[in-house]
Amino acid sequence: MKGKIAIIGAGITGLTLAQLLQGTFDVRLYEKSWRPGGRMSTRHSDEFQFDHGTQYFTIRSSGFRNFLNKALMDGIIRPWEARFMAFDGDNPLEYEKRQEVVYVGTPSMNSLCRYLARDLEVKCDTDVKNCRYVAEGWFLSFANGIEEGPFDLLISTIPAPQNDDLFAEDITLREGLEGVQMRGCSTIMLGFNDPVDIDWEGAIVSNSPIGWIGLDSSKPARPGKSSLVVQSTGEWGDKLLNVETSLIEDILLDELKKISGIDGWLASHRSLHRWRYAGTSKVAGQKYFLDPVSKLAICGDWCIKGRVEAAFMSAEALAKVLLQ
Predicted local confidence at residue 96, as pLDDT:
67
Peptide bond into 92 cis (omega under 30): no
Please, where in the chain does CATH 3.50.50.60 lie? 1-36+117-180+285-324
d(CA 52, CA 229): 7
Strand partners, 7: 29, 155
Predicted local confidence at residue 210, as pLDDT:
98
d(CA 152, CA 322): 12
Predicted local confidence at residue 223, as pLDDT:
86
With cut-offs at 50, 70 and 90, classify the pLDDT of residue 1: low
Q: Is 147 exposed, middle or buried (0-12, 13-18, 19+ CB in 10 A)?
A: exposed
Residue that wins the pLDDT comparison between 99 and 310: 310
Angle 260-40-20 from CA coordinates, rounded to 5°: 150
Predicted local confidence at residue 165, as pLDDT:
84
With cut-offs at 50, 70 and 90, classify the pLDDT of residue 93: confident
pLDDT (tens digit per residue) in 141-190: 998 899 999 999 999 999 999 998 888 766 778 888 989 999 999 999 99
d(CA 87, CA 189): 20
Q: CATH assignment of 1-36+117-180+285-324?
A: 3.50.50.60
Percentages (nearest 5) of helix, strand, coil residues in the chain: 25, 35, 40
Please, where in the chain does CATH 3.90.660.10 lie? 42-110+181-282
Q: CATH assignment of 42-110+181-282?
A: 3.90.660.10
Q: What value does the mean pLDDT take over residues 202-223?
A: 96
**Is the pTM for the entire model greater than 0.85?**
yes
